[in-house]
Amino acid sequence: MLNPAVPGFHPDPSVCRVGDDYWLACSTFEYFPGLPIFHSTDAEHWEPVGHVVTRPGQLAIEHVPTGGGAWAPTIRYHDGLFYVTVADAMGRGGLIFTATDPRGPWSDGTVMVGADGIDHDIAWDADGTCYVTYSGLILTGDEVSKHLGIQQVRMDPETGRALSDPISLWSGTGKMFPEAPHLYEVDGTWYLMIAEGGTERGHSVSIARGPSPEGPFEGHPANPIHTHRSTDHPVQNSGHADLVATDDDWVMVSLGTRPRGATRAFAPMGRETYQTRVRWVDGWPVVEPFALTEGLPTVTVHTDLAGPLGPEWLTVRDADRTWLRHEDGAMVLTADPQAPPVAMDAPRPRFVGRRQQHERARISAVLEPGRGTGGLSVRYDEDHHYDVERAGDVILARVRLDQVEHLWSAPAPAGPVELWIDAVPTEGGFSSEGMSCDIVRLGFTTGNDDEVEVAAMDGRYLTSDTCASFTGRVWGPYAASGEVAFRSIDYRGNDER
């Protein structure tokens, strides 16, 4: 099957089928728009078609900490409605969104009461009883970070109120962080599939079965049914999976990372969506190995900034975007006068970005002169980002690594300037550079089409492994002071190794 199924920062995939259509949702954390929806007619090739969260108020992301926000959706269909359950972590809490069309619009979100935790799954039995099964991680109060294992309540999905006290279900084989539960009824037997081992290198998928949605559940004797830990597989951290039946077999989607470097230690894109086929043997799912798809073509995307941005463009903790407008064929960003001295250090920077989706990637943007200070950034979070910026007659390159900041500079050319950021994978090997995943180059192109590299920085510091982030690299333009106008943005990427 095609892998990655959805490249770039698209973790925690969930999938469902309605008729001949398949629908997939992923986490977005502190970014907006939230919870992207993908469509497929073959459960292999996925097209983005919308988002669950498209307006202010659906998530309380404005002040969530880094890594908070939309965690681990489940998408399901029941009795004429699509449902997405999700934890708005450190925000509104557990939510139920509904829509008649998964392309949207979706409801404002009903807060669940009595199902405190994360990774909420929703399922119905033949009698129409609704069950919400979730990971009992406490995020607030005196017992914050305490984990109660896999929990379940009966739920009124219209009001969001639990109709029973939580019960504890099978919570795996004893590995840490049992999470990502999903319930399925297959030929009269109920299956509870979970992730365990942590979303890092120990990640895995385990499964149990029982006579009802409430169990009791018996674990598969060969658990985990899927993991890449302690292997040389090019995709690691594989887990947090969901299942869907096709006409011929079943498909499992899961998250995974593509670590690079001599010890395969650093993953620039963070957690992506992968897929593989599943067959059933003696009443248990058997997961086929999966591999990265070789020979995919180079992707080139030109964004004309004369009109509205497409849904792939993200803002950070900001659903209003009142500081962004289009005029005279350009996109104009207005800087925040209360922003910190380094604009991208702000928790809500005046920044719009798109995911890095390829190991070899480049983004460039044409910046108009004289209207303010701004540039391009590759961001992991407010404490970890690399920027290339026009400030008057100088082009600055900046590296921000927590409390460490370093600047390089070069004279700026007259007139509009094309700024660029280029991620170049390393060749590996036992050297300082070979241990890293890539080198990130920052520079600009002169009017004579000559490229000027202002700085080059080790890319390992902008990875999920170093930043301990749930997200991935997001690239795009920002405003630091005044008004900054951009004429166009180009992205180019491939996975040639």
Q: What is the token pair recorded at 132?
A: 């919400």
Q: Distances from the Cα of 296 to the Cαs of 7, 46, 48, 415, in angstroms?
A: 12, 15, 19, 37
- Active-site residue list: 12, 179
Residue listed under structure tokens 């910046």: 367
CB atoms within 10 A of CB 292: 16
**Hey, what long-range contacts does 393-396 have (CB within 8 A, 24 or more apart)?**
395/419, 395/443, 395/444, 395/452, 395/454, 396/454
- The C-alpha atoms of residue 431 and residue 27 are separated, in whole angstroms, by 36
Strand partners for 137: 147
**Contacts of residue 187, Cβ cutoff 8 Å, sequence gap at least 6:** none
Q: Distances from the Cα of 485 to the Cαs of 318, 366, 375, 405, 410, in angstroms?
A: 20, 9, 10, 26, 21
CB atoms within 10 A of CB 494: 16
- The C-alpha atoms of residue 258 and residue 357 are separated, in whole angstroms, by 11
Comparing CA positions, the residue from 116, 103, 44 lying closest to residue 75 is: 103
**Cα 70 off chain centre by:** 10
Could you tell me how many helices (H) and strands (E) the chain has, helices first? 1, 37
CB atoms within 10 A of CB 451: 12
Please write down the HEC assignment for all residues of 60-115: CCCCCCCCCEEEEEEEEEECCEEEEEEEEECCCEEEEEEECCCCCCCCCCEECECC
Q: Is the dihedral of CA 385, 386, 388, 394 positive or negative?
A: positive
Q: Is the dihedral of CA 437, 361, 33, 405 positive or negative?
A: positive
- The C-alpha atoms of residue 258 and residue 275 are separated, in whole angstroms, by 14
Comparing CA positions, the residue from 121, 139, 129, 192 lying closest to residue 164 is: 129
Strand partners for 184: 191
Q: Distances from the Cα of 442 to the Cαs of 369, 417, 418, 447, in angstroms?
A: 19, 13, 11, 17
